[in-house]
């Protein structure tokens, strides 16, 4: 849930609590709501309250019906379809790249799941040939995913986002990558 969702749900809860309080006070003999309903400003005030309630109701309906779409790699098998979450494969790719020397940090993203394409964003240590390191990384990722998951990656793009000297710089580069 994003921050905006939390804020709007908090506002909704507050509005509902205030309305419940007004209803309770009316039930227990309070005249505030009754006097407001009889006031000359009811048309204006009531329109604003109604607009707020309708907007919050629409927001809640959108929030409830909004579905987070997980992306899957789907391939048919003899006994039925197999769906593998891209997040699962991305984490496998990151684990596999830990065996390659020269890499300080790797982040993997699927850019296409139909003809599986992977984007790797890496931070490397100095004194490594970037061309050789990138080729080794591409081959290793393709072979590892094919061996462990059973799918063939069509393309592996590598972006070198930085070069680091120590683990402190690696953590700073990670923060910049998001």
First to last CA, the chain: 17
6-20 pLDDT, tens digit per residue, is: 888 888 889 889 989
CB-based burial, 19-39: b 16+ in 10 Å, e otherwise: eeeeeeeeeeeeeeeeeeeee
Tell me the pLDDT tens digit for each residue of 148-159.
888 888 889 999
pLDDT at position 122, please? Answer: 92
Please report, for residues 29, 38, 39, 165, the alpha-carbon distance to residue 22 in angstroms, rounded to integers and kept in the order given. 11, 15, 16, 63
Backbone angles phi, psi at 161, to 5 degrees: -90, -15
SS3 138: helix
Give the helix/strand (H/E) hosting 140. helix 130-148
DSSP structure string for 8-53? HHHHHHHHHHHHHHHHHHHHTT--HHHHHHHSTTHHHHHHHHHHHH
- Each residue's pLDDT tens digit in the chain (178 positions)? 678 888 888 888 898 899 899 889 989 988 888 888 888 888 888 888 889 889 888 988 888 887 666 677 777 778 988 888 888 888 988 988 888 888 889 999 888 767 788 999 999 998 888 889 999 999 998 998 889 888 888 889 999 998 987 655 444 555 555 5
Q: What is the DSSP letter of 127?
A: S
Domains of the chain: 3-65 (no CATH), 72-177 (3.30.70.1350)
């Amino acid at each position: 849930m994003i921050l905006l969702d939390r804020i709007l749900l908090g506002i909704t809860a507050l509005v509902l609590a205030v309305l419940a309080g007004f209803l309770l006070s009316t039930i227990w003999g309070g005249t505030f709501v009754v006097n407001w309903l009889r006031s000359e400003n009811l048309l204006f005030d009531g329109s604003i309250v109604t607009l707020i309630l309708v907007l919050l109701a629409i927001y809640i309906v959108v929030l409830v019906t909004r579905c987070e779409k997980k992306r899957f790699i789907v391939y048919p098998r003899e006994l039925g379809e197999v769906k593998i979450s891209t997040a699962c494969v991305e984490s496998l790719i990151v684990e596999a790249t830990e065996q390659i020397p020269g890499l300080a940090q790797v982040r993997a993203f699927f850019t296409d799941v139909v003809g599986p394409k992977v984007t790797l964003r890496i931070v490397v240590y100095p004194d490594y040939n970037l061309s050789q390191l990138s080729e080794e990384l591409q081959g290793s990722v393709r072979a590892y995913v094919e061996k462990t998951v059973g799918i063939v990656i069509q393309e592996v793009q590598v972006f070198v986002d930085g070069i680091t000297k120590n683990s402190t710089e690696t953590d700073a580069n990670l923060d910049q990558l998001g």
